[in-house]
Amino acid sequence: MSNEKIIVNSWNEWDPLKHVIVGKADGTCIPAPEPALDAKVPEDSDMRGEILEATMSYRCRWFEYLCYRPLLKKYYNSDPNMRHESAPKPRLTDADYRKDYLSDKIGIQKRLEWTEKKYFVTTEEEPLFDAADVLRFGKDLVVQHGFTTNLKGIDWLKRHYKDHRVHAVNFPGDPYPIHIDATFTPIKEGLIINNPQRRLPKEQRKLFENNGWEIVDSAQPAHNEPPPLCYSSTWLSMNVLVLDSKTVCVEKSEIYQAEQLDKLGMEVLPIELRDAYAFGGGLHCCTADVYREGELKDYFPKQ
């Protein structure tokens, strides 16, 4: 790659992927306890020419942006149109978190009620967002409001991406709404798979349905529980990496997800990654687009 000309450009989740950052687990460690503990990659989000460093909402990830800096420097030097942006680093004081929200004493029923009411572990003290709560659909950005992204974070994105339309979504069936990419996964233009335990509420489906997009229930995971030390649920089954609108990488053991995507007309590439789940998630979590061929499009003209 060293002599190759690098261009930073990626408008959506499915155009032909030509350059991607793949995370590696060197130097990782188990984070110390904190009020909203969880840990995942990636932390950056990119649009044409711009890579934006997310605020992040866990203390253990506050310095994570430094790991990306050598790569971003390289892209900046190579691509004269690249803009390197950084959202304001949050203070992450105790005021950012609801005390004892994650206590074991709180049952699953109560948690589901809280998600329904949009009452999350993070407060509205300051803008917070993780890149993995954001999905890019050309002119539209779909952002999960949950533990890792608050309304102030979504508002910050709206003000920053003035030429885009930013939509807040939430998924009431998820007791721990952390990152959108095991819940709602665009596969290609017009097709999304949605976690059947975390369906997008009727009102929020309109944007997709009115513009001819199909939202189908994803297949069941192949496993009954996540591997040891993994911070995520078994729904990493749907944490796939789309290479182009005909080709998708699926974790090798996720045979039901692979079968469903095959039936939906995709060529499925099985990739063994389950042993790496403990280091931050699945195929989508561990990767960050740098260049996808394709231009900015409006997939939702009917707003």
Q: Which of 130, 140, 174, 181 is catalytic?
A: 130
Residue 33, classified by CB atoms within 10 Å of its CB into exposed (0-12), middle (13-18) or buried (19+), is: exposed
Pick between residue 9 and residue 234 the one whose CB is nearest to ligand NVA: 234
Has 130 been annotated as catalytic? yes
Q: Which of 179, 230, 286, 289 is catalytic?
A: 179
Pick between residue 76 and residue 101 the one whose CB is nearest to ligand NVA: 101
Has 285 been annotated as catalytic? yes
Q: Which residue has the tokens 């005390």?
A: 99
Query: Which 3 state secondary structure label does DSSP give 17?
Result: strand
Q: Which of 184, 235, 277, 279 binds ligand NVA (CB under 6 A)?
A: 235
The Cα-based distances of 208 to 115, 211, 242, 264 in angstroms read 22, 5, 19, 18
Segment contacting ligand NVA (CB under 6 A): 97-105, 114-122, 179-187, 202-210?
Answer: 179-187
Indicate whether 171 belongs to the interface with ligand NVA (CB under 6 A). Answer: no
Q: Are 187 and 264 in contact (CB under 8 A)?
A: yes
- Evaluated on CA atoms 221, 226, 230, 233, the torsion sign reads positive
- Cβ-Cβ contacts under 8 Å for 83 (sequence gap 6 or more): 49, 50, 51
Helices (H), 35-172: 65-78, 108-116, 151-160
Closest approach, Cβ 272 to ligand NVA, in A, equals 18
Pick between residue 12 and residue 234 the one whose CB is nearest to ligand NVA: 234
Pick between residue 190 and residue 226 the one whose CB is nearest to ligand NVA: 226
Taking alpha carbons only, the member of 264, 261, 285, 262 closest to residue 274 is: 285
Q: Which of 59, 136, 145, 179 binds ligand NVA (CB under 6 A)?
A: 179
d(CA 113, CA 86): 34
Pick between residue 179 and residue 292 the one whose CB is nearest to ligand NVA: 179
From start to end of 23-82, where are the E strands?
44-47, 50-53
Has 67 been annotated as catalytic? no
Q: Which of 10, 144, 218, 233 binds ligand NVA (CB under 6 A)?
A: 233
In the window 104-163, what residues touch ligand NVA (CB under 6 A)?
none
Closest approach, Cβ 40 to ligand NVA, in A, equals 6
Q: Which residue has the tokens 């496993």?
A: 223
d(CA 145, CA 169): 6
Indicate whether 170 belongs to the interface with ligand NVA (CB under 6 A). Answer: no
Indicate whether 232 belongs to the interface with ligand NVA (CB under 6 A). Answer: yes
Pick between residue 9 and residue 233 the one whose CB is nearest to ligand NVA: 233
Q: Which residue has the tokens 């992927």?
A: 17
- The residues of the shown chain that bind ligand NVA, judged by CB under 6 A, are 178-179, 181-182, 232-233, 235, 239, 281, 285
- Active-site positions? 130, 179, 285
